[in-house]
Structure 1
Amino acid sequence: MRKRKEFIMSHPKKIEICKKILEARKDKKCITFSATIKDSEAIGIGEVIHSKKSKAKNKEIIKKFNEATSGVLCTSKAADQGADISGLSVAVIMSTDSSKIRKTQRIGRTIRFEEGKTAELFTLIIKGTQE
């Protein structure tokens, strides 16, 4: 059961679709939420923040991202709560779980009101699964 869940959360098609979404939005500030650090790194676009990096390094990456006008920030769970990430207009959620708080935080990061901003939120799911 666990292997099936891992396969669904880290399905190669999700990585492929995520890359296409990001490539089409190079002028936007985007964030991806993956199931694992490995999945975040597999996207291969932008910067990756995660729990195995020092807090100082993650803060430095977020600071540079906040100062930029466009870019991609990839994470598994390091940006779910407590991270101040500004200017996001695109989010790609590549895996879901049962945490309503995590889901709300992820959505909230992207749809935060900013004058003139249009937000896009993509949740990638595999048809016919419990996702």
Structure 2
Amino acid sequence: MDMRQVDGMRAESARFVADVFASVPRREQRAKGDCYLRMLILDGRRKSIAAMPGRLPDGDEQNLQQFVNQSPWDPQPVRQRIAKRVVPLIGPDAGVVDDVSFAQDGRMSVAVAHQYCGALGKQATARSR
């Protein structure tokens, strides 16, 4: 999506944000949530906090970093609201549970041990997530 398409969806996006972020206590946090979601749907390969703010006029890297990493709001109700909206649209028949592990060198890092590593498909020294 480009900026014109995102601007055209502004009202729909506002309704979505009001519903999904209803559990977030502060208005400023909900506004940052709106900005973050608009950045996620914009075209662009990198979806990192560092890369996305330049794509929107109201994108501010520090504000978004704080919203995602430091704001005191519970993400669980937000995830539940998103799931309630998405599941009827995609109608999943099954869920897949996969381990999340990454190959690592050395044994001094936290959570690194000899274990099954899904990324390699075998037993190896890996970090669990």
Shorter-chain TM-score tier: under 0.3
Q: TM-score, normalised by structure 1?
A: 0.27
Higher helix share: 2
Q: Which has the larger radius of gyration?
A: 2
The structure showing larger relative contact order (alpha-carbon pairs under 8 Å, at least 6 residues apart) is 1
